[in-house]
Amino acid sequence: MSAAAWWGALRERMASSPSAPWSRAQGERRMQSPTGVAAEFDVTLLWVIFALVALGLLMVYSSSIASASESRFTRFSASYYLIRQLVFVVIGAVLALFVFETSMRNWQRAAPYVFAFAIVLLVLVLLPGIGRVVNGARRWIALGPFGLQPSELMKFAIVLFAARYAVTKAAVLHAAQPLKQSLIHGLGPFLLWALLISVLLLKEPDFGATLVVLSTGLLVLFMAGLDARLVLPVLAVGLIAAVALVWIEPYRLERVFGFLDPWKEEFGKGYQLTQSLIAIGRGGLWGLGIGAGVSKHYYLPEAHTDFILAVTAEELGLLGLCLVIAAFAWLTWRSFMIGREARRLEQPFSALVAQGIGTLFGIQSLINIAVNLGFAPTKGLTLPLMSYGGSGMIASLVTLSVLLRIDWENRRLARGFKV
């Protein structure tokens, strides 16, 4: 039997099945996209992810070629960081394919174990002999020539854990319960876990990851319907804690002062920010062209990691910068739309995971973009899918694979199939 005949027989069987809740014509309309091609998953979302990864590879190579070709550490290989990033992308893509085959029902069961595993890694990275110190921070576990950054896994784990927690504790998180009950039995236990994560991340130290993880987890609870009377107190306490953490650490305080007036000490506290702004301004509207930027020639620190967006703006101009920002904004919006569809299909865990993924990517990309543009003090946060880094790339691809799985399950459920 030919493929066309097999597909025709399958459609006839689906349309004539007594349990099918739609007519043949209705089923065909639902299963086809406007172009007439069967829409099993969000092709546009996949292309946006591919475009950001591809642009990231290009900019990692462009921004690192000068330093890599003149360093003994890279054996004077101009393509050192590009090759490593390609390896990370391939590993992440392979893992993403396996993750896509895992149902959300199984992810809901596994959420506590993924969260516990991430906490164990956060403990291990602090142990001498296991955690590797780079630039004064102990954030990586050495795995041969590579390094594992546990905070990247925790970003994914907190989305799963918070979503499962919200679904499990739904009865005591909402305003239908007394405020004391919601606090003690609902929000309270989650805050204890959040405190533990904060302590471990701040011991590394990694203030940026702490901010992303905690805000993502709490926002998932808010989207799940957390009692509004608890929202403002939690935000107030969180803001006070953030200010205190900045105030007690001299290097964080210096970053804030450097951010407020970077040109006052353009070769001191404000050096990174001023060089980023110079690079962006130099790019103009259309940019200098791929490879033609000069900021990467030892002017802009961390050009291929934290400040890859500044190099992108310098070489691709304001147009390229706007396209990157638009891509992340669309990715965040699409995540929330997938979550809304899952909620409509009565899949609360999937809905919260999708919206949590949107929150995670939205917050991290927003902070990195704000830092590069001078709207926020410098943080050690990379730009997802674009900045150099194995743990971040792999974690991002796996996380987005879960988002694609949710979208796929939504489409299956909308057509009457079970998942």
Sheet holding 146-148, edge to edge: 131-134, 137-143, 146-148
- Average pLDDT of the chain to the nearest whole number: 86
**pLDDT exceeds cutoff 90 at 136:** no
Q: What is the mean pLDDT of residues 203-210?
A: 90
pTM attached to this predicted model: 0.88
Closest residue by Cα to residue 397 from 99, 159, 110, 118:
99
The confidence band for 177, taking pLDDT boundaries of 50, 70 and 90, is low
For residue 70, how far is the Cα from the chain centroid? 32
What pLDDT shows up at residue 147?
86
| pLDDT over 90 at 25, yes or no | no
Separation of alpha carbons 370 and 387, rounded Å = 15
HEC string of 239-303?
HHHHHHHHHHCHHHHHHHHHHHCHHHHCCCCCHHHHHHHHHHHHHCCCCCCCCCCCCCCCCCCCC
Return the minimum-mean-pLDDT range out of 123-127, 179-183, 211-215, 412-416.
Answer: 179-183
SS3 content of the chain, % helix, strand, coil (to 5): 70, 5, 25
Contact 240, 341 (CB under 8 A): no
124, 203 contact by CB (below 8 A): no
Confidence of residue 22 (pLDDT cuts 50, 70, 90): very low
Using alpha carbons, select from 216, 187, 204, 186 the residue that is nearest to residue 115: 216
